[in-house]
Amino acid sequence: MSPFDWFRYLPQLPEDDIWGISVRGAGRVRSQRGKPYPPRGHPADHNFSWATGRMLQGFQIVFISEGQGRFESRPTGIRRVEAGDAILVFPAVWHRYEPDPSIGWIERWVELDGSAVSRLLSAEFFEETQPIARPRDPSAFANHMERLLRLVRGIAPGARAEAGAIGHVLLTQLQTQYGTGKQPSPAASMVAAAERLLSSGIDDPLPMPEIARRLGLSYSYLRREFKRRTGLSPKKYLQRMRLERARRLLGATADSLDRIAERVGFCSAFHLSAAFKKEFHISPRQWREKHCTEGNI
């Protein structure tokens, strides 16, 4: 293995999932033309060949910065991989990939685990049928990957948490481009537009059917995609925004609860108090007493 090539697998520690994302392994490979792939030395549960393929328990990002090759999984069949592409390897999905033997490639890979990764996969932010993603700025993406690799290789105090944070950045940059390779997916753009319309009209919000009409969509489709991507129905999303605004007003003003209810769109202080307590598990009065003093309102 050349000095450029290296990999490291990390044991899972009890505190890893406090941050939501942990790095379980990472590495870098420069595959030369005509050389065997992948390099030797990986543990048996990660090693593979094109002839056999493999299944992993974790979620991997394999970023190809130079060269080209191919990828295959059971849900997708064979797909072409080019420089600037990221291969997404899903847990418990048989797959295999390799560089074009006449060209080779340079790859950087990271294996991620944790509750945040599980939530993203459960919410189908990433889908097994779309294993190739392309960040908008492949050069910047490669720089993030390289920084993560340096942290994993050095294992300095705090490095694991910082590497996990970079893992979150990588997932975010892939998800915003997911499904098109060059621009946000139509569903993601549609939900973002609906969020903007809801946010801009918090005092007098547009009905969701009207927002759907403006976006040229059916209400049922918009509502389904909105909830799938935000985790909240449009009604719950709007109420969450109002309650968060009420909480800010409780901390920043001396307004009465009746006045705050009026400002954020609740019909009475009673209804605001009931919704606030259900959402934050504390009444507005108790929240103000706990978090504010006379001098700061």
For residue 162, give the amino acid letter.
E
Distance CA 141, CA 238 (A): 34
Q: What is the mean pLDDT of residues 178-198?
A: 70
Q: Percentage of the chain surpassing pLDDT 90?
A: 42
Q: Please check the confidence at residue 178 and state whether its pLDDT lies above 80.
A: no
CATH class of the domain whose range is 6-176: mainly beta
pLDDT band at 295 (very low <50, low <70, confident <90, very high): very low
pLDDT of residue 208: 86
pLDDT of residue 297: 46
Token output for 170:
């990588």
pLDDT band at 182 (very low <50, low <70, confident <90, very high): very low
pLDDT of residue 177: 65
Lowest mean pLDDT among 171-180, 221-230, 274-283: 171-180
pLDDT band at 181 (very low <50, low <70, confident <90, very high): very low
Rg (CA), the chain: 24
8 A C-beta contact, residue 25 and residue 8:
yes
pLDDT of residue 185: 62
pLDDT of residue 269: 94
Predicted structure pTM score? 0.66
pLDDT of residue 200: 73
| Residue range 207-244, pLDDT digits in tens | 888 888 988 889 899 888 888 878 888 888 888 888 98
DSSP result, 113-139: ESHHHHHHHHTTSS-TT--EE--S-HH
| Residue range 73-113, pLDDT digits in tens | 999 999 999 999 999 999 999 999 999 999 999 999 999 99
Lowest mean pLDDT among 3-12, 63-72, 238-247: 3-12
**Beta strand extents in the chain (DSSP E only):** 6-9, 22-31, 59-73, 77-82, 86-89, 95-99, 105-113, 132-133
| Residue range 22-69, pLDDT digits in tens | 999 999 999 988 788 887 778 887 888 899 999 998 899 999 999 999
**Which CATH number is associated with domain 239-296?**
1.10.10.60
Distance CA 288, CA 266 (A): 18
Is the CA virtual torsion 221, 226, 228, 233 positive or negative?
negative
| Residue range 156-165, pLDDT digits in tens | 767 888 999 9
Nearest C-alpha neighbor of 144 from the set 163, 157, 161: 163
> Could you give the 3-state DSSP secondary structure of residue 228?
helix
- Answer with the residue of higher pLDDT: 182 or 48: 48
- Answer with the residue of higher pLDDT: 16 or 47: 47
pLDDT band at 124 (very low <50, low <70, confident <90, very high): confident
Residues 6+ apart with CB under 8 A from 151: 159, 160, 162, 163, 166
According to DSSP, residue 54 is labeled B
Distance CA 247, CA 260 (A): 9
pLDDT of residue 296: 47
